[in-house]
A and B are shown apart, each in its own frame.
Chain A
Amino acid sequence: MSRTLKAWAFLAPTFIFVGTFCYWPAIRALEGAFTSWDGVSAPKWIGLKNFYQLFHDSVFLGSFLHLLWWSLIGIPVGMGASLLVALLIYRLDSKRAQYWFRVAFALTLCLPGIVGILTWENFYEIGGVIDTLLSDVGLGRFDTAWLANPHTALGALIFMGFPWVGAFAMLVFYAGLQSIPGEIIDAASVDGISSLRRVWHVELPLIKGQLKVILILSIIGITQNLLPPLLLTGGGPANTTWVPVLYMYENAFQYAQMGYALSIAFILFVVSLVLALVTMRYLRSDNETRRRVA
């Protein structure tokens, strides 16, 4: 018994903190979704009314469509770029070069998120870096404010961050490639398969564990990607860049509709949780795959 008390004493600070600042607000959020609440007076229970209203709210429905596009383009492109760089570094012939390229890409993590976003805002301005580059390569001057044009704003937000290499994802993929046993690579080389086939049939199956983690983190990350639309477009122009998390934020802090905002959070939470669970369920883990190959 005293052993248990001792261990609980070690754990108590953590549990006091996460109870107060993680679990309690999460529970409040889930129950708040079923209330009408301005954040000041007492919340009033209204059942499913918020959800009923959401499914007739064209801004909300549009925001989910934008998130769908953003995910379908952004996640494969981001993971693909990170994987490509990880593979290129892993295949370098010198350990020293491998190390320094990893350092170079890790340095991109130093740019605070908000600074990166504001820098890209400048790139998109009329006569900015994007316009200048396009006219330099002979595509002519577009002279458009990419983020203020309803035809280009959402695309510009999705394109932001080119070449989309996520340093964290890249280092995780690289660690996975590194841990592939040499015998498996040797066996593949003896069989004389081509480089591309080796990636597809040997290396990718063996880093499925890493691909899975990054895919789940990307799904969760993209649903809570609030800062770019909040800072750069605010949902405009002509409502073309709303995403659910921004609509939630504006409802809560601009329109004081806490209950309505929390019902958006509720739906987004359920959707991202289901997607994450489906991913975990349907991508075989690399331990199982390794057993199959060996």
Chain B
Amino acid sequence: MTGHNHGNWAVRVPHYFALTVIGVLALFPMWFMAVTGLKNGIQLEQNPFSLAIAQPFGTFYRQAWDYIDGDMLRTVLITAASVVGITVLGMLSAYAFARMEFLGSTVLFYVVFGLLLIPSFLTLIPLFLEVRGMGLIDNPAALILPYIAGGQAFAIFVFRSSIQGIPEEFFEAARIDGATHLRMLLRIAAPLSRPIMIAVGLLNVTAIWGDYVFPSLVLPVSRQTAAMAVGNFQPPPSVPDINVVNLQFAAYTIVSVPIILLFIFFIRYFIAGLATGAVKM
């Protein structure tokens, strides 16, 4: 506990107060979105900060869910397929770089490192033309395949250092039993890297879930993702104009809920994964 404030109340109170104020401000958009989905347009216009609730309770949430449920399911499937692909391929490569000696290992590692220098705006246009040339437009594969490729560099770096950190004795014992590399990857490297796999998976989930630009280029509105649905919101004609904004905020909240649940479930791993201090130069 060296160097922390054991100071008196005159120091402690402002210290906690400052952090709380910044935290409340940082979380305010989430709160605002959830609350605005509960009130109607007139209540919002009167006071955007009020806690008014429109009757019947949650009506906009129900309508927003009907609007977005199909897109949510589609987005869950696209995100899950991408993150599984990133993790499986990333672990295979990370294991090879960490545990196997082979011709070209240095060169191939630099090829992976070079990926970090390719920004997404550079590849956006040719990638769009490429998947169109492959006939993948309107197909979720047009998203999943590039997402798997785009997630490799970061995943391989982090997984590789995690596997390198596993004590040699674990692998030695397995080798004596005649285990193959694939077996050691499945039985030793993967289970011991679970926290970091979850942390990387979570970062990928948030990035893919909220992606708007590339999906809106390759998917039609009839098969859109949840982020596209909120970006190109088309209110049902039955909703009066003044309440459209509340319906939108209900939809924003619904789109955010799966990520919030995942974070709450895995926050320990996430915090621990980033606390290892691996991210620096």
Contact = CB atoms under 8 A, between A and B. Distances in A.
Interface in A120-147: 120, 122-123, 127-129, 132
A115 B210 contact: yes
A171 B93 contact: no
B231 A21 contact: no
B116 to A, nearest CB: 9
A186 B22 contact: no
Contacts of B130: 20-21, 24-25, 28
A176 interface: yes
A3 B101 contact: yes
A129 B3 contact: no
B173 interface: no
Interface in A22-51: 22-26, 28-30, 32, 39
A253 B217 contact: yes
Interface string B1-32: 11111110000100110110011011101101
B149 A29 contact: no
Interface residues of A, number: 107
Contacts of B53: none
Interface stretch (A53-61, A69-77, A224-232, A233-241): A224-232
A39 to B, nearest CB: 6
Given A22-B149, A110-B263, A272 B15 contact: no
B120 interface: yes
Contacts of B15: 88, 91-92
B256 A85 contact: no
B164 to A, nearest CB: 15
Nearest to A209: B280
A76 B119 CA distance: 21
B176 interface: no
A10 B18 contact: no
A23 B149 CA distance: 10
Contacts of A216: 281
Main secondary structure of the interface of A (DSSP, over half): helix
A105 B23 contact: yes
Interface in A245-269: 245, 248-249, 252-253, 258, 261-262, 265-266, 268-269
Interface string B22-57: 110111011011001000000001011100000000
A25 B149 CA distance: 12
B275 A171 contact: yes
Contacts of B125: 29, 32, 39, 248, 252, 258, 261-262, 265
Interface of A: 3-4, 6-8, 10-11, 13-15, 17-18, 20-26, 28-30, 32, 39, 81, 84-85, 88-93, 97, 99, 101-116, 118-120, 122-123, 127-129, 132, 162-163, 165, 168, 171-172, 174-176, 178-179, 182, 185-186, 188-189, 207, 209-210, 212-213, 216, 220, 223-224, 226-227, 230-231, 245, 248-249, 252-253, 258, 261-262, 265-266, 268-269, 272-273, 276, 280, 285-286
Given A110-B263, A114-B227, A186-B3, 6 more contacts: A17-B149, A108-B26, A110-B260, A118-B231, A258-B129, A286-B280
